[in-house]
Amino acid sequence: MVQFTKRSEVKIMEMGVPNHVAIIMDGNGRWAKKRGLPRTLGHREGAASLRKVITHAAKMGIKYLTVYAFSTENWKRSQDEVSALMFLFKTYIKNEEKNIMKNNIRFMVSGRKDNVSPALIKAIENLEEKSKNNTGLTFNIAFNYGGRAEIVDAVNKIIESGVESIDEESFSKYLYNDLPDPELLIRTSGELRISNFLLWQIAYSEIYITDTLWPDFDEAELEKAIENFNKRDRRFGGVK
């Protein structure tokens, strides 16, 4: 029997994809404000976008996806918003476990553990352990994450290890998770800044910024970002 492939699937198969995509998921608050809703509802919608994007990234053959979910600076927000974000993340882990295991996804978190509740740390570690042998998409959540904090934490690990000298490659091994550098960095909601995300790893990433707010970001938006990435002339300082 002849199997027909859907047009959208043909498009995906023909598209070259970056190995590692990193996303600054921004604009949840503005999405809610535009609708007269509390910011926390924007975060809830943002979690729904993330679910779509992970599934689609895996389907497109992306190997690593890192998303910025909570920065070391986000503690400055109201206690209500911080608590809501913590609760949402814990619920997210609980609800996504089935989907993660079913889709052979490896789950991991990059960030500091301080100020994070023991229950949330336990939930994170459980899913990291449970999914560690999965061989599909590696899904890395930057949570309580700061790029500078990551570099300082790496330097402290190096000092503790007693190693005497280091180069760029061996330095990477001391970062929270030793993943290949992202080829593509996406930021939603139009902000033209890095906000302390992956400072070491994005040295040569291509940057794609869209005005779309994170809760409106979907499969088609991801494909659009990747199509745009595929048109870039990556020179890495050389001449073509």
Residues labelled catalytic: 26, 74
CB 49 within 8 A of CB 31: no
Interaction partner, residue 182 (Mg ion, ligand IPE, none; CB < 5-8 Å by kind):
none
Instruction: Indicate if the alpha-carbon torsion angle 199, 205, 209, 214 is positive or negative.
Output: negative
DSSP 163-199: -----HHHHHTTSSS--PPPSEEEE-TT--S-TT-ST
Residue 188 lies near Mg ion (rule: CB under 5 A): no
- Contact between 217 and ligand IPE by CB under 6 A: the answer reads no
Nearer to ligand IPE, 10 or 37 (CB): 37
SS3 229: helix
146: contact with ligand IPE by CB under 6 A: no
CB of 212 to Mg ion, least distance (A): 13
Amino acid identity, residue 191?
Answer: E
Kindly write out the interface string for residues 99-138 of this chain, putting x where it contacts ligand IPE by CB under 6 A and - elsewhere: ----------------------------------------
The residue from 74, 103, 172, 228 that contacts ligand IPE (CB under 6 A) is 74
Angle, vertex CA 150, rays to CA 147 and CA 151, nearest 5: 90
Stretch that binds ligand IPE, among 7-15, 63-71, 132-140, 152-160 (CB under 6 A): 63-71
Nearest partner of 8 among 230, 222, 198, 211, judged by Cα: 222
Q: Which residues fall within 8 angstroms of residue 169, CB to CB, at 6 or more apart? A: none
Residues between 4 and 33 with contacts to Mg ion, criterion CB under 5 A: 26
Give me the residues that bind Mg ion (CB under 5 A), please: 26
- Report the interface residues with ligand IPE, using CB under 6 A: 24-30, 68-71, 73-74, 85, 189, 191, 193, 195
